[in-house]
Amino acid sequence: MSNSVSALNGENVKGFVQVSELGLQGMITLRANLSTPKVKKAIKDVTGVLVPKMRQILHDGDNSIGWMSPDELLILCPHSGAEAMVTALNDALGKTHALVINVSDARAMFAVKGADARDAMAKLAPTDFGMGFQPGEIRRSRLAQVAGAFWMVDQETFNVVCFRSVARYMFDVLAVSAEKGGEVGYF
């Protein structure tokens, strides 16, 4: 519907890196036995993206799939297409034991963009943001006091996903980390 709004309606702030809420983003949680050919095929057929391996995130066009746990994927797609994709996945999976559910509105997504994006992220998550962390990897962890998942879009950009109810907290805490004068110059 046209009256849909994301948690922070695209708010953004510029510190030594830019923090932006990315607006409406389609997201689907898929739980299934990811090693079976039928599941792999269904996912590839519907999304165009292969099933990622452990801690991998794969992209193809508008769609991405992130590995969340051994039996759970996060599928990213355009917000308006999420419901249809859930139906298509359910159809493709047929009687296979699986759970496919639209969680687009249960989440918020952010970009942390700038040359020192790694520094800003390393203030919040107990994760190694050294050069070992590269685009293609998705990590679930804790950002300050809330759970989140993040991955790199390119060498200067992280995307961060969290629950919608804590979107304001996540934005504020990222903004505090990105405040000018707080450059660490470490990574």
Q: How far is the CB of 104 from other proteins (least distance, A)?
A: 7
Residue 76 pairs with which residues in a beta bridge?
Answer: 27, 64
Using DSSP bridges, classify how beta strands 157-163 and 98-102 pair: parallel, antiparallel or unpaired: unpaired
Q: How far is the CB of 98 from other proteins (least distance, A)?
A: 7
Contacts to other proteins by CB under 8 A: 1, 3-7, 24, 29, 31-32, 54-55, 68-72, 79, 97-99, 101-107, 119, 122-130, 139-142, 144-147, 163-169, 172-173, 176-177, 179-184, 186
Exposure string for 75-90, b = 16+ CB within 10 A, e = fewer:
bbbebeebeebbebbb
The Cβ of residue 160 has, within 10 Å, a number of other Cβ atoms equal to 23
Q: How far is the CB of 86 from other proteins (least distance, A)?
A: 12
**Residue among 5 and 115 whose Cβ is closer to other proteins:** 5
- The helix/strand/coil state of 100 is strand
Q: How far is the CB of 2 from other proteins (least distance, A)?
A: 9
**Residue among 23 and 48 whose Cβ is closer to other proteins:** 23
**Residue among 38 and 79 whose Cβ is closer to other proteins:** 79
Whether the CB-CB separation of 30 and 89 falls below 8 Å is answered with yes
